[in-house]
Structure 1
Amino acid sequence: MIEHKSVFSAFCAAAEKWPERPFLNVLPETAKVYGIASGETSYAEVLAQTRDAQERYCAVGLQAGDRVLMLLENRPAFFLHWLALNALGVVIVPINPDLQSSELEYIGRHAEPVLAISTPERKGDMEQAARDSGQEFACVTLADTLPVLRASDTASYSAVQDDPAAMLYTSGTTGSPKGCVLANRYFLEAGHWYANAGGTCTLKEDAERMITPLPIFHMNAMAYSAMAMVAVGGCLTVLDRFHPRSWWQNVRDSRATCLHYLGVMPSILMSLPEAPEDKRHSVRFGFGAGIDAKLHIPFEERFGIPLVEAWAMTETGAGSVIAANQEPRKRGMNCLGKPGPEMDVCIMGDDGVPIAGTEPGELLVRRKGDDPRVGFYSHYFKDDVATNEAWADGWFHTGDIVRRDEDGDFFFVDRKKNVIRRSGENIAAVDVESVLMQHPDIEAVAVCPVPDAIRGDEVFASIVWRGEQSKDAAEAIVRWGLERMAYYKVPGYIAFCSSLKLTGTQKIQRAAQKQMALELLEKSEAYDTIHLKRRQLVS
């Protein structure tokens, strides 16, 4: 049973129990990137700063249920302002800083926020999104004076676990991104799960220290990293991003006892020259997903760190987690481990009949007990139809294809949904297609994933083009796309074709289109535009 009512109340309890312990640690490299001070901030100091911010937000009329966009990159201030807003019952909407105009306009319109908090470099973009969306919400930086939104409500907010704490936008398989509403309990359950998982990824209450380069605006860093440290009184070091060549020095400087990773990270680190200090660190384990199977054992032997592979989704939170945290971990086999005792699982065949043997099928999950949705997302914002479809027949349908061996261990096979998984980012093919179709010279487009040795997947676009088909044209399309969507969504390969593979009802034949993409790559008949895919730096 989770005792706390909110993220803020859980942090208050941690600050009371461990006031002098550090909660946040900023390394010099990260401090330089953001122009902030390096060093540690204790639980007591963070709580004091949080209460000051809470008073300022309350004074300008922010109230429970309001939604606030937060584009703060991986700055430690994110946590402080999240706590302050959570204390008032305000719902935060973290914004991926790589999003561009059309994506910001959509979220601004769909989320209906009352305020946006941004970095100075992106304030203009957020103001434009406020105008384009028709919402006209106020936009400020952390240094700005807050605008008065309404008369301050002197009544204190009484937190409830089921009250929404955040809304994260996830790439769906159809239509626009969905707003995934996450309650206080979602975050509390995540911290509780991690603190009690045990096995290889055991967390202790004697000053644990975690380092992560993963984005704060995703559930991994928000729910698992941050809430796990709050649960055990640990210290969190968040990097601005993953820097391969300075990674191990960052790990040593942070005195990390555990770390979080995505599959792309081990691949890059293994490509670097071996060094005498490869094992010179204090890390007991790494926790993540997606490591290249053939690198799993070599990585652990080279760096002396067990990597615990796990499965979860933004929607499932800690309501259903599968983790290979118990030995034997079956390394190098894409093994996810066994489901925890708190969850029900079903592997469903295409015929709608559960699979009892070792054949692959779609993973369906739910929580055991009276409420199958405990720890899961609450719902998709303003989309009851999609919420009900995801929970058809009382099971959450993950869209992931898995298999189970004779020992009861689960193994990831593929994605059923038309989602591209590039360097940890989920990309909906239809999301990319909808933006590209706005180009005046694109008559039709089909997007699909193709394998990438480093990133997992890369975005491949087959385009029916009205103009001259050339490398220059392909690169022009990419540059056009970079102005309108996050860089990682833009095609890394473009092939011009006379027509697409369509069904009798004029829908894209996804499987046939993907096979065609693979054949075009093999024949070198697609233009490689990966070199153009870079984060858009703001001067």
Structure 2
Amino acid sequence: MIDSGAETVHGAFAAAAARWPERGFLHVVPETADVYGIEPGEITYAEAAAEVDRLTSALEAAGYGEGHRVMLLLENRPVFFFWFLALNRLGASIVPLNPDLRTGEQAYMIGHAEPALAVALPSRCNELREAALEAGVQMPVIAPGEPVPAPREGARVAARAGGPAEREAALLYTSGTTGQPKGCVLTNTYFLLSGDWYAGAGGLCEITEDGERMITPLPLFHMNALAVSFMAMIAVGGCLIPLDRFHPKSWWKSVRESGATCLHYLGVMPSILMGMPESPDDRAHRVRFGFGAGIDPKLHAPFEARFGFPLVEAWAMTETGSAATIAANREPRRVGENCLGRPEPYMEMRIVDDAGKDVATGEPGELLVRRAGDDPRHGFFAEYYKNPEATAEVWEGGWFHTGDIVRQEADGSVFFVDRKKNVIRRSGENIAAVEVESALMRHPKVRAAGVAAVPDAIRGDEVFAMLVVEGEGDAALAEEITRWCLTRLAYYKAPGYIAFVDALPLTATQKIQRGTLKTQAAGLLNDPATHDLRPLKKRTAA
């Protein structure tokens, strides 16, 4: 468990470094080292602590402290963690930057977050300087190893009331699928609770203090890698193995050679791995469990049978952190059913309809959550920065409104249905895009599926499916897939249109970019290559 006296991320790290100085803190696999141009191998807690001490001295001498923010564009490199810990030690906050963003997007984040400094890869420094100029923020930009300049004047913008535990540790931006992304203020408590949750979760994803090694390809601008994976390993003196990204062909080699005992996944990773040729080495690893979300239900059980360990599906958001996580880490599980497990006593939840009334058992509705006890917001994000209206809206009535549609059965099991904003409204019927995607993914020729609403003059919305398939897609396959869906879904949920594409628009964490998908679907609606299946959608369809 995280040291009970720790009030900050750095305090937790320092306690772990004092207890396990010679243990591995970070491990860089050869492939990631080659991509980044750095040395492969192990970095111990003691070595990391020494580098954090050096950076802390440089930052303190330059005048950095509580209330300052520093933007980091350092990918998943070890240096990211050193800067995070050093800044946290001084009471400053980080703003991790997605390396895929370009000048206009960077300018928005710089103008919104108002960082005192940016630390970026040498090849990206000029780009960030241009973005800062566009944003009107006189922010210095340096590469790691360069002298640390003084913070820009008037840059103490992140100060918060309360002690060290309530200080801002990071400002993390949401995906921004509708409008500009929101900046989530995350405190030290948010991070510490993530480590404590994982250390005590138990069940199938039990981690011990015996030398865990967690491998993750997920980016450090995402809460999973930054808060969950990182803090979990600090909590138990384990070693984090951050990859530059997911490399399917070398994934199992990296898992084996790094000695990973657990792994994190998202999105299409399991599907891609199941598509690789079977090998006698499929079980030649030390992994006891995988933890993540979004596996194709039809592949859940076959994946576990092939590779020999459970994939623990879970639910959380950047805003909730681990304060209201739901995870299927205990048996009996409902493998292959989009089951998120059962809520633990530390959280409270409701499932409500559009009028805010609790739905009946088994009926879908929006998930509302909060922390049990005196402080319903304990461990959640502190606020949307510069957006008190959105913060108040999402906490309306004292419950955090997740925007996710779920249902709960009598045994307490919670099943994910879809994001509320992804629900398609066709002739008065609500259709969850994820439910249709799940059905489509069960077709043997479908490799990836994305579903969006397109306008229909009579029905309001119609279901549009963009599919990546094995081989060539044609009219005959489109009809076959639709008829197949009609045997598994209510007629109105089946695709009214199908377009075969080479790839779906995905985020860096392998989630569908819903806004881009909807735009592309609208653009393909009148494309001659799009197949109109609406005549097949009849109430009498078998």
For Structure 1 versus Structure 2, the TM-score category normalised by the shorter chain is 0.7 to 0.9
Residue of structure 2 in register with 1:68 after alignment: 70
Residue of structure 2 in register with 1:110 after alignment: 112
What letter matches 1:240 in structure 2? D
3-state SS of paired residue (1:259): strand
Residue of structure 2 in register with 1:522 after alignment: 531
3-state SS of paired residue (1:44): helix
3-state SS of paired residue (1:417): helix
Match of 2:125 among 117, 123, 127: 123
Residue of structure 1 in register with 2:90 after alignment: 88
Match of 2:368 among 361, 364, 369: 364
Residues 177 and 515 in structure 2, CA contact (< 8 A), matched pair in contact too: no
- CA gap 1:389/1:495 in 2 versus in 1, 3 angstroms: closer
1:409 and 2:418 correspond: no
Residue of structure 1 in register with 2:59 after alignment: 57
Shift of 1:368: 0.5
After superposition, give the CA deviation of every residue in 1:95-118 in whole Å (9 maximum; x if it has no partner): 000011211010011001111110
Hey, what's the Cα distance between the residues in 2 that align with 1:517 and 1:387? 40
Question: Matches of residues 102-501 of structure 1 in structure 2 within 5 Å?
Answer: 102-149=104-151, 160-172=164-176, 174-418=178-422, 450=465, 491=516, 494=520
What letter matches 2:368 in structure 1? L
Residues 367 and 401 in structure 2, CA contact (< 8 A), matched pair in contact too: yes
Shift of 1:137: 0.5
- CA gap 1:407/1:452 in 2 versus in 1, 3 angstroms: farther
Match of 2:50 among 48, 51, 55: 48
After superposition, give the CA deviation of every residue in 1:355-376 in whole Å (9 maximum; x if it has no partner): 2411000000000011001110
- CA gap 1:262/1:487 in 2 versus in 1, 3 angstroms: closer
Hey, what's the Cα distance between the residues in 2 that align with 1:517 and 1:292? 30
Residues 314 and 341 in structure 2, CA contact (< 8 A), matched pair in contact too: yes
- After the TM superposition, which segments of 4 or more aligned residues of structure 1 sit over 4 Å from their partners? 418-422, 448-454, 486-493, 516-521
Hey, what's the Cα distance between the residues in 1 that align with 2:418 and 2:382? 26
What letter matches 1:522 in structure 2? H
Residues 94 and 168 in structure 1, CA contact (< 8 A), matched pair in contact too: yes
After superposition, give the CA deviation of every residue in 1:320-345 in whole Å (9 maximum; x if it has no partner): 00000000111010100001110000
Hey, what's the Cα distance between the residues in 2 that align with 1:323 and 1:402? 14
Hey, what's the Cα distance between the residues in 1 that align with 2:308 and 2:323? 31
After superposition, give the CA deviation of every residue in 1:91-147 in whole Å (9 maximum; x if it has no partner): 100000001121101001100111111011211110111100000201111032221
What letter matches 1:121 in structure 2? S
Shift of 1:190: 0.2
- CA gap 1:97/1:384 in 2 versus in 1, 3 angstroms: same
Residues 263 and 291 in structure 2, CA contact (< 8 A), matched pair in contact too: yes
More RCO (CA 8 Å, sep 6+): 1
- CA gap 1:54/1:519 in 2 versus in 1, 3 angstroms: farther
What letter matches 1:259 in structure 2? L
Shift of 1:349: 1.0
Hey, what's the Cα distance between the residues in 2 that align with 1:381 and 1:413? 29
Hey, what's the Cα distance between the residues in 2 that align with 1:409 and 1:449? 30
Residues 76 and 220 in structure 2, CA contact (< 8 A), matched pair in contact too: yes
Hey, what's the Cα distance between the residues in 1 that align with 2:512 and 2:404? 25
Residue of structure 1 in register with 2:101 after alignment: 99
Residues 61 and 150 in structure 1, CA contact (< 8 A), matched pair in contact too: no
- CA gap 1:519/1:379 in 2 versus in 1, 3 angstroms: farther
What letter matches 1:34 in structure 2? Y
3-state SS of paired residue (1:399): strand
Residues 138 and 152 in structure 2, CA contact (< 8 A), matched pair in contact too: no
Report the TM-score, using the length of structure 2 for normalisation.
0.79
What letter matches 1:80 in structure 2? F
Match of 1:78 among 67, 80, 94: 80
Shift of 1:318: 1.0
Hey, what's the Cα distance between the residues in 1 that align with 2:134 and 2:169? 26
Shift of 1:294: 0.3
What letter matches 1:50 in structure 2? V
Hey, what's the Cα distance between the residues in 1 that align with 2:515 and 2:340? 30
Residues 321 and 339 in structure 1, CA contact (< 8 A), matched pair in contact too: yes
Residues 23 and 43 in structure 1, CA contact (< 8 A), matched pair in contact too: yes
3-state SS of paired residue (1:377): coil
Shift of 1:4: 1.3
What letter matches 1:370 in structure 2? D
Residues 264 and 292 in structure 2, CA contact (< 8 A), matched pair in contact too: yes
- CA gap 1:259/1:177 in 2 versus in 1, 3 angstroms: same
What letter matches 2:135 in structure 1? S
Match of 1:9 among 1, 5, 11: 11
Which deviates more from structure 2 when the two are superposed, residues 169-178 or residues 321-330?
A: 169-178
Shift of 1:21: 0.6
Shift of 1:496: 6.9
Residues 173 and 417 in structure 1, CA contact (< 8 A), matched pair in contact too: no
Alignment size in residue pairs: 456
Hey, what's the Cα distance between the residues in 2 that align with 1:382 and 1:282? 46
- CA gap 1:174/1:494 in 2 versus in 1, 3 angstroms: closer
Shift of 1:230: 0.2
Residues 450 and 518 in structure 1, CA contact (< 8 A), matched pair in contact too: no
3-state SS of paired residue (1:46): helix
Hey, what's the Cα distance between the residues in 2 that align with 1:251 and 1:171? 29
Residue of structure 1 in register with 2:441 after alignment: none
Residue of structure 2 in register with 1:19 after alignment: 21
Residue of structure 2 in register with 1:34 after alignment: 36
Q: Structure 1: 5+ residue runs without aligned partners?
A: 152-156, 430-445, 455-474, 498-513, 525-539
Shift of 1:495: 6.1
Hey, what's the Cα distance between the residues in 1 that align with 2:467 and 2:206? 33
After superposition, give the CA deviation of every residue in 1:44-64 in whole Å (9 maximum; x if it has no partner): 110111010001111111121
Hey, what's the Cα distance between the residues in 1 that align with 2:228 and 2:38? 25
Shift of 1:263: 2.8
What letter matches 2:238 in structure 1? G
